[in-house]
Amino acid sequence: MSGLAAAPVLSVSGLRKRYGDTPAVDGVSFAVGRREIVGLLGPNGAGKTTTINMILGVLEPSAGSIRVAGLDVATRRSKALERTSFAAVYAPLPGNLSLERNLRIFGLLYGVPDVRARVDDAIRRLDLDALRGRKCGVLSSGEQTRASLAKALVSDPDLLLLDEPTASLDPATARDIRVKIREFAAERGCGVLWTSHNMFEVQEICDRVLFLSHGRILLEGDPRALPAQHGKASLEELFIAVAREPLSLEQGAAP
C-alpha cells in the first residue's frame, strides 16, 4: 500500500552528511506517504540514525533537503517538527518525572490543543494506565520503550520516526506494539519511518523498505517480494548480503 499518490508526508532529497572526509549519509532520496510504514534497514553504521537525526532537525545536513508535510525542516523547523515525533531506545523520557507529567510537558512542547485528553489517549493506547503516576526512571526497559512511544503519539503527528521501537520488548508486547502503531497510522493518516534489525518484524509491519549501506540506499521495495527478486530465501539473508557484499547488490541487480 502506498500513500505516495497524494503528497508525501516526508520527502527527502539528495541528503548528505559528511564528518570531515567521511560520508555518513551520501545522497539519500526517498519519500514516505500518509498511512505508509517504510522500513529503513541496514547494518550498524549504515546511516539510519544519522538520517533520522537530520529529519528531526538535531543534525544539520551537509547538503540536500527534507520536507515534512511540505514544510522545509531547514527553514521552517518549528512548524515541521510540530508534525513530527519520534521514539528511540537511546532517548528515554527523563527518569525524574512521572510518565503522565513527562507526557504533559511534551504535549505542551508540541503545542497539543487539549493536552490532558491527548495524554490520556496515548496512555490508554499503550496500556500504560497503571504506570501513569510512576517516575519513568523506575520503569522496566520495556515499559520505558512504551512510555517513549506514548510520547511520540501524544502530539498526533503526521510523521512518526521510530528507531528500533521494539528492541527491548518481549515478542508478545512487540507484536501488540506493531498492531497499535499500524492502527494509529491508519486511523490518523500518519506516515511512519521505522528502523529495525528484526527482519520478521519488518516483513510484518512495513509496506516498503529501504536498504541503506555506507550512507546510500542500495535497494528499495516490498519486503515480502524483495528477497526473491535478489535471489535470496529471506529478508534476513538479503540483509546479510547488503551488510557483507553491498557492491554486488549495488552493481548486479537481480541474478
Partner 1 sequence: MKPSRVYAIVLRQFWLIRGSFARVFPLFAWAAIDIILWGFISRYLGVFTAAGIDFVPIFLGAVLFWDFFIRVMQGVTMAFFEDVWSRNFLNLFATPLSVSEYVTGLVLSSVGTSAIGLAVMILLATAAFGLPFAAYGLMAVPFLLILFVFGVSLGIFACAMVLRLGPAAEWFVWPIPALISPFAGVFYPIATLPAWMQGVAYALPPAYVFEGLRAVVAGGTVPAGALARGGILAAAGLLLACGFFARTYRHTVRTGLLARYTAESVS
Q: Cβ closer to partner 1: 76 or 216?
A: 76
Which residue in 45, 95, 231, 252 binds partner 1 (CB under 8 A)? 95
> Does residue 150 belong to the site contacting partner 1 (CB under 8 A)?
no
Query: What is the three-class DSSP state of 224?
Result: coil
How many Cα atoms occupy the beta-carbon half-sphere of 22 within 13 Å?
7
Residue selected from 58, 63, 117, 247 as contacting partner 1 according to rule CB under 8 A: 58
Q: Which of 1, 60, 179, 228 binds partner 1 (CB under 8 A)?
A: 60
Q: Which of residues 13 and 98 has its CB atom nearest to partner 1 in the complex?
A: 98
Phi/psi for 77 (5° steps) reads -55, -55
Q: Which of positions 7-46 make contact with partner 1 (CB under 8 A)?
A: 17, 19
Residue 94 binds partner 1 (CB under 8 A): yes
Residue 213: which residues within 8 A CB-CB, separation 6 or more? 42, 43, 46, 242, 243, 246, 250
Out of 34, 151, 208, 232, the only residue in the binding site for partner 1 (CB under 8 A) is 151
Tally Cβ neighbours within 10 Å of residue 207: 20
Q: Considering the rule CB under 8 A, would residue 111 count as an interface residue with partner 1? A: yes
Least CB distance to partner 1 at residue 101 (A): 6
Binding of partner 1 by 221 (CB under 8 A): no
State how far the Cα of 211 lies from the Cα of 36, in Å rounded to an integer.
17
Q: How does DSSP assign 86-154, residue by residue?
A: EEETTSPPPTTSBHHHHHHHHHHHTT-SSHHHHHHHHHHHTT-GGGTTSBGGGS-HHHHHHHHHHHHHH
Instruction: Give the neighbor-by-neighbor strand order of the sheet with 159-163.
Output: 84-88, 159-163, 191-195, 37-41, 208-213, 216-221
Part of the chain binding partner 1 (CB under 8 A), chosen from 74-82, 209-217, 230-238, 247-255: 74-82
Query: Least distance from C-beta 159 to partner 1, angstroms?
Result: 12
Cβ distance to partner 1 smaller for residue 165 or 246: 165
Which residues contact partner 1 (rule: CB under 8 A)?
17, 19, 49-50, 53, 56-60, 77-79, 81-82, 84-86, 88, 90-97, 101, 104-106, 108-111, 151
